[in-house]
C-alpha cells in the first residue's frame, strides 16, 4: 500500500478527479431533492440502469469512447426509460413499482448483452468500457470535466430559472396546472436534468450505485431542515462531502474503488442523521421520551403528597409515600431531591412538607385528574369504575388551555364522580 500523501497532493490528476467527483456529488444532491419530494426516488435507479445500453449504442455508433457521444447516448436511453415507465403506468394496469422494476432490469439486461457484444469484438477502444458498471473515477479526463462543468452549469441555470415552477409542480401539481404552468414541460425538464446528472455521474460511481448518490443526500438533508432552499444546499453539501471523502480514500489506499466508498460515506451520513437529527432523530426522540417520563414521575410524587395530606397525614415520610403508591426507591430519592431544589418541598428530620408552590402544583395535577374523571362520566357515559386508568395518564397531558375548556364545559364543578373535592 502506498501512504505517500505529498505525492497525492502534488498530483494534478488527483485534483482533477476530486473536482469532477465532488461536482457530481453536489449536483446529485440537488437533483435528488426533487425526486425525493416527488416520491420518485426509485426512478433514478431505473434511469441509471437504463443508461448502460445508451453508452453501448453510443460506442458502437462512434467506434470510440467519445465522451460527448456517450453522453448523448445516455441522455436518449434515460429519457426513453422515463417515458416507458410513465407509459406503462398510464396505459396498463401495472403499478409504478412494477413498471420501474421492469424498466431498470430490462434496460440493464439489454446493456449487458450489448456490452458482451462489444467486448467480443476487436475494437481496441473497448478497454475500460466495463468500468461504467461500477465506475472508475481515475479515468476521468480533462475533457470529461469540461463536459461535467457545462452540464452542471446548464442544470443549475435551469433549476434557478424555473425554481418557482418546479416547486409548484412538485408540491401541488393541480394548482400549478390551474394557473397555467405547463406540467408536461416542467416534468420533462425534471426528467432531463435527472438523466443528465445520472449520465455524468456513472463514470465516477457506476451504473449500479448511481441511484444512491441521487437518493441518499436529500434523504439525509430533509431531516435537518424544513426549508426547501436549505434542503437543496445541504443535500449538495452532503453529496459533495461524501464524494470528496470517497476520492481521498481511494487515493490514499491503492486499489480502492471510488464509487463504493462514496456510497459507503453517504450511508454513514444517513445513519448519522437518523441518530442525531433534531426532532425526528433517534436520540432526539429518546430524549423527549425520557423527559416526559421524568415529568410524569415527578407529578406522581407530588400527587401522592396531596393525597396523603388530604387523608390527614401531615408529616410525610418516605415510607408513607411508598405505601401509598409504588415508586422505585432510587428514582424516588432523585425526585425528592429535585423537588426540594425547586422549592416545592421542604425536609426536616426526615419528614417532608409541601411548600406553598408545591401545594399549588400538586393540587393542579389532582384537579386535572378529577376533572377528567368527571368529564368521562358526564359527557362520555363512562362507568365510575372505568375512569381512573384513563385519568392517570391524561392528567399529565392536559394543557392550561384545555383545562380552561374543561372547566367551562363542566361549569367549575365541586366534586368528582367519587365524591372527592376538586381542589382549585
Partner 1 sequence: MKNYSIEVHNVSVAYDRIPVLWDIDVDLPIGKIIGIVGPNGSGKSTLLKAIMGLISLSSGSVKIFGQDLNESRDKIAYVPQRESVDWNFPATVRDVVEMGRFQKGKLFHRLTAVDRELVDYAIKKVKLKEFENRQIGQLSGGQQQRVFLARALAQGASIYIMDEPFVGVDVATENAILELLTEMKNEGKTLIIVHHDLQTVSDYFDYLVLLNTRLVAHGPTTEVLTRENLQATYGGQLNLVAQIQELIKENEMPLREKGFEDK
> What's the per-residue H, E or C state across 43-68?
HHHHHHHHHHHHHHHHHHHHCCCCHH
Stretch that binds partner 1, among 113-121, 155-163, 353-361, 391-399 (CB under 8 A): 155-163
Mark residues 278-317: x for contact with partner 1 by CB under 8 A, - for none: ----------------------------------------
Q: Which of 2, 172, 315, 421 binds partner 1 (CB under 8 A)?
A: 172
- State yes or no: residue 92 binds partner 1 (CB under 8 A): no
CB of 205 closer than 8 Å to CB of 262: yes
**Interface with partner 1, residue 399, by CB under 8 A:** no
Q: How many chain residues are in contact with partner 1, going by CB under 8 A?
A: 27
Q: Any contact of residue 94 with partner 1 (CB under 8 A)? A: no
Bridge partners of 415, per DSSP, are 421
Residue 163 binds partner 1 (CB under 8 A): yes
Only segment of 42-50, 170-178, 201-209, 324-332 that touches partner 1 (CB under 8 A): 170-178
Of the ranges 142-150, 228-236, 318-326, 402-410, which one interacts with partner 1 (CB under 8 A)? Answer: 228-236
N- to C-terminal Cα distance for the chain?
Answer: 77
Q: Would you say the C-alpha torsion 237, 239, 242, 248 has a positive or negative sign?
A: negative
Rounded CA separation 120/128 (Å): 14
Q: How far apart are CA 304 and CA 312, in angstroms?
A: 13
Nearer to partner 1, 39 or 418 (CB): 39
Residue 354's DSSP bridge partners are 345
Q: Does 164 bind partner 1 (CB under 8 A)?
A: yes
With H, G, I as helix, E, B as strand and everything else as coil, classify residue 347. Answer: strand
Cell of 398: 392536559
List CB contacts of 117: < 8 A, sequence separation 6 or more: 56
Q: Tell me the C-alpha distance between 261 and 273, whole Å.
A: 18
Closest CA to 135 of 212, 242, 207: 207
| Interface with partner 1, residue 171, by CB under 8 A | yes
137 binds partner 1 (CB under 8 A): no
181 is a contact residue toward partner 1 (CB under 8 A): yes
The least distance separating partner 1 from the CB of residue 219, rounded to whole angstroms, comes to 13
Number of neighbouring beta carbons within 10 Å of residue 260: 19
The binder of partner 1 chosen from 64, 92, 227, 415 (CB under 8 A): 227
User: Which residues contribute to the site for partner 1 (CB under 8 A)?
Assistant: 37, 39, 160-165, 167-168, 170-172, 174-175, 177-181, 222, 225-228, 230-231
Amino acid at each position: 500500500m502506498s501512504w505517500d500523501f505529498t505525492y497525492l497532493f502534488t498530483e494534478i490528476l488527483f485534483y482533477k478527479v476530486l473536482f469532477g467527483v465532488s461536482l457530481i456529488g453536489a449536483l446529485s444532491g440537488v437533483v435528488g431533492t426533487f425526486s425525493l419530494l416527488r416520491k420518485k426516488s426509485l426512478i433514478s435507479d431505473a434511469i441509471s440502469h437504463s443508461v448502460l445500453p445508451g453508452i453501448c449504442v453510443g460506442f458502437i455508433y462512434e467506434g470510440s469512447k467519445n465522451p460527448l457521444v456517450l453522453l448523448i447516448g445516455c441522455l436518449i436511453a434515460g429519457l426513453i426509460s422515463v417515458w416507458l415507465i410513465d407509459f406503462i403506468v398510464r396505459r396498463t394496469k401495472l403499478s409504478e413499482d412494477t413498471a420501474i422494476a421492469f424498466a431498470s432490469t430490462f434496460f440493464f439486461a439489454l446493456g449487458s448483452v450489448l456490452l458482451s457484444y462489444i467486448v467480443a469484438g476487436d475494437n481496441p477502444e473497448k478497454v475500460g468500457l466495463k468500468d461504467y458498471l461500477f465506475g472508475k473515477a481515475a479515468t476521468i479526463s480533462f475533457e470529461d470535466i469540461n463536459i461535467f462543468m457545462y452540464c452542471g452549469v446548464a442544470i443549475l441555470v435551469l433549476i434557478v430559472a424555473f425554481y418557482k415552477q418546479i416547486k409548484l409542480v412538485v408540491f401541488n401539481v393541480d394548482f400549478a396546472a390551474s394557473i397555467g404552468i405547463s406540467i408536461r414541460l416542467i416534468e420533462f425538464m425534471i426528467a432531463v436534468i435527472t438523466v443528465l446528472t445520472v449520465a455524468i455521474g456513472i463514470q465516477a460511481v457506476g451504473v449500479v450505485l448511481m441511484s444512491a448518490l441521487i437518493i441518499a443526500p436529500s434523504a439525509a438533508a430533509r431531516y435537518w431542515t424544513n426549508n426547501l432552499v436549505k434542503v437543496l444546499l445541504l443535500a449538495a453539501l452532503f453529496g459533495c462531502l461524501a464524494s470528496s471523502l470517497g476520492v481521498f480514500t481511494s487515493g490514499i489506499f491503492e486499489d480502492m474503488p471510488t464509487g463504493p466508498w462514496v456510497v459507503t460515506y453517504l450511508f454513514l451520513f444517513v445513519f448519522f442523521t437518523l441518530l442525531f437529527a433534531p426532532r425526528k432523530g433517534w436520540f432526539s426522540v429518546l430524549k423527549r421520551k425520557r423527559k416526559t417520563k421524568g415529568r410524569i414521575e415527578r407529578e406522581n410524587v407530588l400527587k401522592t403528597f396531596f393525597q396523603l395530606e388530604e387523608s390527614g397525614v401531615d408529616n410525610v415520610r418516605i415510607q408513607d409515600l411508598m405505601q401509598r403508591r409504588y415508586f422505585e426507591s432510587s428514582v424516588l430519592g432523585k425526585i425528592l431531591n429535585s423537588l426540594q431544589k425547586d422549592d416545592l418541598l421542604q425536609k426536616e428530620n426526615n419528614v417532608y412538607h409541601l411548600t406553598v408552590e408545591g401545594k399549588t402544583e400538586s393540587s393542579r395535577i389532582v384537579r386535572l385528574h378529577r376533572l377528567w374523571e368527571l368529564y368521562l362520566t358526564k359527557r362520555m357515559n363512562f362507568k365510575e369504575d372505568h375512569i381512573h386508568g384513563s385519568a392517570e395518564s391524561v392528567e399529565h397531558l392536559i394543557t392550561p388551555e384545555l383545562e380552561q375548556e374543561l372547566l367551562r364545559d363542566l361549569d367549575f364543578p365541586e366534586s368528582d364522580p367519587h365524591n372527592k373535592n376538586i381542589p382549585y
